[in-house]
Chains A and B, each alone.
Chain A
């Protein structure tokens, strides 16, 4: 990787939250202003899955939304961001656990994410941001629940990894 990237790095590795958070809030509002709909990621997964399987309800713009998330991430991480010391991915997990533990753990983690999102009707974006911003009781309850559960589960992970994670 050359020191200077193609367009030069115009974004730091991690821009300040007090800039990005309000931008994300504004994106949520703008999307309501256009489509009168919340922007949830797990919904986009469901529509994409139905689209590929050619069964069930599928709204094509949600499939494009799914593609868009990956595309936006690609542009920023590959072309706009200062990549030095970045791209850690799952490195700290990898350093704390052998591959035969990590791979099944990631798979089970993914299944729990998908199952829980479908059962609970949303994930971090749909409930956590769009739902709470609509002041929906169910979203606020779901958000408090998954935050609490994730913090407790992380405590367990620290415990069983002997503090390595």
Chain B
């Protein structure tokens, strides 16, 4: 696969993801805040049903050793729990509660016309680069950076 088609796929999936978040008003502070106040079930239902469908789908792909279109044989990434997962999760959760939004919905918030979201976006970038000095690499899924198309050294 060339770099161009990888970029198109990235853009298309980003647009679908952003569109779904917007359709659920997940970019609204109130939606997230009402979930975290445990007053609305909506986001729990949204995330829960997404996880159930994705777990089933990925389980089927894995059990059949499906060949993916551009990434070789399906390889789900699993890792053991380390202290950083819990520390990072606790810090992330408190920021999520304060800002009432998280990395993807805040981008939708911006394009919905709420310019105060730029403050949160700036904060996210600063937070990421602060932690960059402490933790090398990122996440379960992106260890395989070197295998990816479109990498710029």
Query: Among the listed B71, B89, B104, which residue makes an inter-chain contact with A142, where contact means beta carbons less than 8 Å apart?
Result: B89
Q: Which of A91-131 contact B (CB under 8 A)?
A: 91-93, 102-103, 105-131
How many A residues touch B, CB cutoff 8 Å? 121
Question: Whole-angstrom distance from the CB of A141 to the nearest CB of chain B?
Answer: 4
- Total A-B residue contacts, Cβ distance less than 8 Å: 518
A141 contacts across to B, CB distance below 8 A:
81, 85-86, 89
Q: Do most interface residues of chain B lie in helix, strand or loop, or is the interface mixed?
A: helix
Instruction: Please measure, in the bound complex, the distance between the C-alpha atom of A55 and the C-alpha atom of B115, giving whole angstroms.
Output: 28
Given A116-B127, A120-B87, also A90-B11 (CB < 8 A): no
Q: Do most interface residues of chain A lie in helix, strand or loop, or is the interface mixed?
A: helix
Contact A90 B116 (CB under 8 A): yes
Asked if A5 is an interface residue, CB under 8 A from chain B, the answer is no
Q: Interface of B with A (CB < 8 Å)?
A: 3, 6-25, 27-31, 33, 36-38, 41-43, 45-55, 57-59, 61, 66, 68-82, 84-100, 102-104, 106-114, 116-117, 119-132, 134-135, 138-142, 144-145, 148-152
14 contacts between A and B (CB under 8 A): A17-B24, A21-B47, A29-B61, A36-B75, A107-B122, A109-B99, A111-B130, A113-B99, A119-B134, A120-B88, A120-B89, A121-B139, A125-B104, A153-B93
